[in-house]
Chain A
Amino acid sequence: MTVTNVDWRSDEVVARLARRHRRDVRLKLAGMAALGFALAMLATLVISLAATGYQAFTQTHVRVDFALSDEHIDADDPQRGNYRAIVGEAVAALFPELDSPAGLKRATGILSSGAQNVLRDLALADPARVGERVVLTVPVSDPFDQLAKGLVRRDTPENQRRVSDAEIALFDRLAEAGRISQPFNWALFTQADSRFPELAGLKGALWGSFYALLVCFVLSFPTGIAAGIYLEEFAPKSRFTDIVEVNINNLAAVPSVVFGLLALAVFIGWFGMPRSAPLVGGMTLALMTLPTIIIATRAAVKAVPPSIREAALGVGASKHQVVTGHVLPLAMPGILTGTIIGMAQALGETAPLLLIGMNAFITAAPEGVTDAATALPTQIFIWADSPERGFVSRTSAAILVLLGFLIAMNALAIYLRRRFERQW
């Protein structure tokens, strides 16, 4: 072995060292840039959703005096009243100078077509009020909502916006009269889907998601725990156990749309279960959540120290008693954490629900697990596909609601982990 004398101070070596350090810095900067890019994308995502979505949390309303005259409604049969005429008369009273039918029709267009439904609900709830005059705040239709929120700009040429100058003038008169207000949009949570953006809400989707997750939980939670405990505590080391384990790992990586195909062919095609039902959606989601819960259960059970088992066995407990009396309670926080995370994933799952028809247009909230319904993510998909401008902000708002639920669920999981995690 020859030892060469190297002059560590020579220009060549110093230059090389500087070069090597520069490369180090470059790698570090590239890493920072990559992290920055990822975080910038996250920020863009959140900001763009918040910027378009916040506007859907308020809704422009107009205060109008309606006369529930018995001319148009029969107090004995309020269902069949001519509510359109009542709305028309109320609008005519607001703008006495409009006498042409076209002008009146234009003015009536300021009000949402839901105004008739509000009046009908009122008359149905209390037929005694027929004949009275009522003052109501009703939503304005989507183009005027956009106008009031500044999303339709007044300086765009008239032929490029959905409201004409004449309509804007009428709307401004209402605003000057102090009849326009912009309260919190409760309808977003109390109404189901609608063709009209100003009336569309998430109630149906929220209930649909709730029922689907309920079914998913009822099926996957006990099954997942039982399977996880069996594989971790009881299963003999055999070929069969190996097959089951490989299966669970692979199942976790099967594309979600394939689960939708399974549900469509088996649950709906062969078993004849109803389409669009949260029951079928929940069963599909349960199959997808099962691997998550099994894996979480196994990890939590494995974390329980053997000394606990040995102590219990030592005082005469059977293997099953050890598991149900000691291992399972100690593993429960870990299992629950995994389950909540699995449920959060299930809540955001869309593709399988599309295939089983949970993207239908349904204007009533489901009352059970077999009623046709949508779910939060499929509602987002429906609204994102709708051409009306008002649905853009509503889609973002629905996404914000969904993300809110996901954050709450994950926060709960983190809290449980922190609160109950034990170091043995």
Chain B
Amino acid sequence: MIGYLVALIALMSLAGYFWNREAAKALRARGSRLHSLPSFHGSYAVALAALPAVIFLLAWLVFEPSAIDMLVRLGLPPEATEGKGPGEISLLMSEIRQTATGRIFGDPPEHVLAAAERFTRLNALADWALGALVFAVAAVGLWLARRSVAPAFRARQGVERVLTGLMIAASVTAVFTTLGIFASLVFEAARFFAMVPIDEFLFGLNWEPQIPIREDQIAGAGAFGWLPVIWGTLVITAVAMFVSVPVGLLTAIYLSEFASARVRGVAKPLLEILAGVPTVVYGFFAVLVVAPAMRDAGRALGLDVAPNTALAAGGVMGIMLIPFISSFADDALGAVPRSLRDGSLALGATQGETVRKVLFPAAVPGIVGGVLLAVSRAIGETMIVVMAAGLIARLTLNPLDSVTTVTVQIVTLLIGDTSFDNPKTLAAFALGLMLFIVTLGLNVVALRVVRKYRELYD
């Protein structure tokens, strides 16, 4: 249906383009001096025909389901809805929808069958109405555009205004995405904090979200203190930084100061491959290779290594972040002015001394910015920890133990069950809000550090 309507709009716009262009050409052939080129008159028709029709179509699609739902609900006999909560009514509505698609379970009551039939009828009616209205909107646009064709008409300005408007709308998408993220997180988290006090969430030391969602389920009493969860995140992040910062920095120093052009030409693309591997692949690598290897190594050393130790998840995350850190450090070292390097070498410092005592201190702000961004990445990284880290929140410093992370909890809380009315699923949004705030803060600080430092030498 929607496909046909889009095709209809496209066809009408195309027709309008040629109609208007030929009309403008005819004017010119009769000796008028046109303000705008005929093709602009054509494009003006496209803008007038397609734009309102598309906007109308999208608005209709957004509002159609809820409008039809409301009509069907209002049409129900009063005894069917009397004294029922919103949950029961939405259950009834989904039963009506199921019945309307032909999936009938058992013996639905009379009013459900009638409502289902009305639902089907309204949907068919809505489809026809939509088709007719889209056609009408586009046709009116075409007619207006055709009427405007005249020698003095400034079609180019019109088209360019529309184009500029579209471009501004596209630019604002990014702002709306951020607002959407923030609004949805805050909205759902607020519902969570209505059920669980905010101080319990922020300062609680227990995280046991597996509360019963049906009355007959056996589960814990539930506790929603996020501290052990963020603690686990920090433990894994620390392990990742412990691997990636030294390795990444030394790699960058070697590649930018010591390596020959040929080694650089081979090593850099290889490191980029390491950066391009999807995180789900790293997760499988951690489970398949790294965790068993660590368990074996731990057994050989007489250590008790948990099957999903923080060391495996953090270590693999560290490997993932090596190219990230090394490319940032590479940029920072490369941005140090040549004069500093030459001055140091001219004074008799060795290459290593130049790196350690001149280039590195000068590049530290850039490197710190890169490390902060890497920390933010590690905190927000999901798939590696979902596959390789644990589920149980523990306040432990031992990296051999298994810990859980914010992202693991978000994913496990939302996989499967998604009714948005119990603290278990809503807790994921509270965690998401905290994650968003923490990573955003780190990014802002990191970008500021990097920019300040760039200004220093520019």
Q: Which residues of A contact B (CB under 8 A)?
A: 20-21, 23-24, 26-28, 30-35, 37-39, 41-42, 44-45, 48-49, 52, 222-224, 226-227, 229-231, 234-235, 243-244, 247-251, 253-259, 261-262, 264-266, 268-272, 275, 287, 290-291, 294, 318-320, 344-345, 347-351, 354-355, 357, 359, 377-378, 380-381, 384-385, 392, 395-396, 399, 402-403, 406, 410
Contacting residues, chain A, for B160 (C-beta < 8 A): 318-320
Report if B204 contacts A (CB, 8 A). no
A24→B352 CA distance, assembly (Å): 5
Given known pairs A34-B250, A258-B436, A395-B284, the reply for A351 and B382 (CB within 8 Å) is yes
Distance in Å from the Cβ of B228 to the closest Cβ of chain A? 19
CB neighbours (8 Å) of A294 from chain B are 174
- Residue contact A27 to B62, C-beta cutoff 8 Å: no
Q: How far is the CA of A234 from the CA of B455 in the complex (A)?
A: 26
Q: Point out the residue from B249, B255, B376 that lies within 8 Å of A253, measured CB to CB.
A: B376
> Is A230 within 8 A of B171, CB to CB?
yes
Contacts A255-B436, A271-B62 known; 20 new A-B pairs at CB < 8 A: A20-B352, A21-B350, A23-B353, A28-B352, A227-B173, A230-B170, A244-B171, A251-B174, A251-B178, A254-B380, A256-B382, A257-B382, A258-B181, A261-B429, A265-B184, A272-B66, A378-B280, A402-B278, A403-B277, A406-B276
Q: Are A255 and B435 in contact (CB under 8 A)?
A: yes
Q: Are B288 and A52 in contact (CB under 8 A)?
A: yes
Stretch at the interface among B105-113, B205-213, B393-401, B438-446: B438-446
Which residues of chain B come closer than 8 Å to A226, judged between CB atoms? 166-167, 169-171
- CB of A354 within 8 A of CB of B411, answer yes
Chain B residue, CB-CB nearest to A270: B184
- Contact check, A42 vs B407: say whether CB atoms are below 8 A apart: no
By the criterion CB–CB under 8 Å, are B175 and A223 in contact? no
Distance between B410 CB and nearest chain A CB, rounded to angstroms: 6
| Interface pair B251/A35, CB less than 8 Å apart | yes
Known: A266-B180, A350-B382. A27 touches B411 (CB 8 A): no
Number of interface residues of B (CB under 8 A): 93
Nearest 5 A-B pairs (CB), nearest first?
Answer: A31-B254, A255-B380, A348-B278, A34-B250, A230-B167
Q: Are B350 and A20 in contact (CB under 8 A)?
A: yes
Instruction: Give A42 to B276 CA distance when docked, in angstroms.
Output: 11
Contacts of A23 in B (CB 8 A): 350, 352-353
Query: Quick check: A355 and B435 within 8 Å, CB to CB?
Result: no
Cα of A200 to Cα of B62 in the assembled complex, Å: 37
CB pair B382–A41 under 8 Å, yes or no, is no
Does B367 lie at the interface of the complex (its beta carbon under 8 Å from any beta carbon of A)? no
Most chain B CB neighbours (cut-off 10 Å) among A33, A48, A265:
A265
Which of A229, A253, A257, A355 contacts B443, CB < 8 Å?
A253
Residues of A within 8 A of B440 (CB): 250, 254
Complex-state Cα separation, A406 to B326, whole angstroms: 22
Could you name 21 residue pairs across A and B whose Cβ atoms are closer than 8 Å? Answer: A34-B247, A34-B249, A38-B319, A38-B322, A227-B171, A244-B172, A244-B175, A254-B439, A255-B377, A255-B379, A256-B380, A257-B435, A258-B185, A261-B410, A265-B188, A351-B386, A355-B410, A378-B280, A381-B386, A384-B287, A410-B276
Q: Are B174 and A227 in contact (CB under 8 A)?
A: yes
Residues of B with Cβ closer than 8 Å to A?
Answer: 62, 65-66, 156, 159-160, 163-164, 166-175, 177-178, 180-181, 184-185, 187-188, 246-251, 253-255, 257-259, 267, 270-271, 273-274, 276-285, 287-289, 319, 322-323, 326, 350-353, 355-356, 373, 376-377, 379-383, 386-387, 407, 410-411, 414-415, 418, 420, 428-429, 432, 435-436, 439-440, 443-444, 447
CB of A138, distance to nearest CB on chain B (Å): 30
Q: Which of A35, A37, A344, A392 has the most CB of B within 10 A?
A: A35
* Contact assessment for B267 and A35 in the assembled complex, using a CB-CB cutoff below 8 Å: yes
**A291–B411 CB distance below 8 A:** no
Q: Which residue of B lies closest to A265 (CB)?
A: B184
- Judging by beta carbons under 8 Å apart, are B274 and A44 in contact? no
Residues of B within 8 A of A399 (CB): 280-281, 284
The answer to whether B288 touches A48, judged by C-beta atoms less than 8 angstroms apart, is yes
CA of A351 to CA of B405 in the docked complex: distance in angstroms? 14
Q: Are the C-beta atoms of A253 and B439 separated by less than 8 Å?
A: yes
Q: How far is the CA of A381 from the CA of B286 in the complex (A)?
A: 13
**Number of A-B residue pairs at CB separation under 8 A:** 263
A356 to chain B, nearest CB (A): 9
B379 partner residues in chain A, CB cutoff 8 A: 255
A348–B247 CB distance below 8 A: no
Q: Are A384 and B387 in contact (CB under 8 A)?
A: yes
For B62, list chain A residues within 8 Å (CB): 271
* Contact A254/B287 with A42-B270, A348-B278, A351-B382 known, Cβ cut-off 8 Å: no
CB distance from B432 to the nearest CB of A (A): 4
The CB with the most chain B CB atoms within 10 A, among A31, A33, A229, is that of: A31
Q: How far is the CA of A355 from the CA of B181 in the complex (A)?
A: 14
Of chain A, the residue at the smallest CB distance from B175 is A247
The answer to whether A355 touches B178 (Cβ under 8 A) is no
In contact, B175 and A354 (Cβ under 8 angstroms): no
